[in-house]
């Protein structure tokens, strides 16, 4: 009995000390931009996306205000999630950054359309300026196989 308990305790200690593999993910196009961050990072079965804005590569931020920017931001997030083996259905948490907190309701109305089956945990705050003059930036965490 003592031997079994000692063996179980040893296995638990070994498994608790195992480190999960970290993968820094980016396309060649993203790497060529020389940005100081990865497009996404995978740790175990979690995928952490860097913040995305509502831009179209080569064209800049979409015009029209918070609604079209939020829509494009979410489409950009969807594309990255799928590229790295996840999906919007696997998102568990989002952080939304707004240029103006008064855009919260309009951003939320577009954002929720991308989560018809569940609502991930979410935080939102406003700051004084986002990358490329965007009105919204969103980062997500999702599960991945």
Boundaries of domain holding 38: 20-143
Is the pLDDT at 68 greater than 50, yes or no?
yes
Query: What are 98's two structure tokens?
Result: 């707004």
Contact (CB, 8 A) for 136 and 130: yes
The pLDDT value recorded for residue 104 is 98
Judge whether 28 lies within some domain. yes
Q: Would you say residue 123 lies in a domain?
A: yes
Residue 3 lies inside a defined structural domain of this protein: no
Q: What is the pLDDT of residue 11?
A: 47
Domains identified in the chain, total number: 1
- CA gap 59, 88 in Å, rounded: 25
Distance CA 32, CA 126 (A): 30
More confident residue, 124 or 32: 124
Nearest Cα to Cα of residue 140 among 84, 82, 81: 81
Q: What is the pLDDT of residues 12-21, one digit of tens each?
A: 454 555 688 9
Per-residue model confidence (pLDDT) at position 92: 98
- Give the tens place of pLDDT for each residue, 80-112: 999 999 999 999 999 999 999 999 999 999 999
Residue 108 resides in a domain: yes
Specify if 139 maps to a domain. yes
122: tokens are 């979410």
């Amino acid at each position: 009995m003592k031997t079994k308990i000692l063996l179980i305790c040893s296995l638990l200690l070994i498994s608790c000390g195992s480190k999960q593999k970290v993968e820094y993910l980016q396309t060649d196009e993203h790497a060529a931009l020389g940005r100081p961050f990865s497009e996404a990072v995978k740790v175990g079965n979690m995928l952490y996306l860097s913040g995305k804005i509502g831009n179209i590569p080569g064209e800049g931020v979409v015009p029209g205000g918070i609604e079209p920017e939020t829509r494009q931001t979410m489409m950009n997030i969807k594309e990255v999630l799928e590229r790295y083996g996840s999906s919007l259905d696997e998102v568990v948490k989002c952080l939304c950054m707004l240029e103006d907190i008064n855009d919260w309701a309009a951003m939320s109305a577009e954002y929720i359309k991308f989560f018809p089956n569940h609502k991930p945990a979410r935080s939102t705050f406003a700051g004084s300026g986002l990358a490329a003059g965007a009105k919204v930036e969103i980062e997500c965490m999702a599960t991945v196989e």
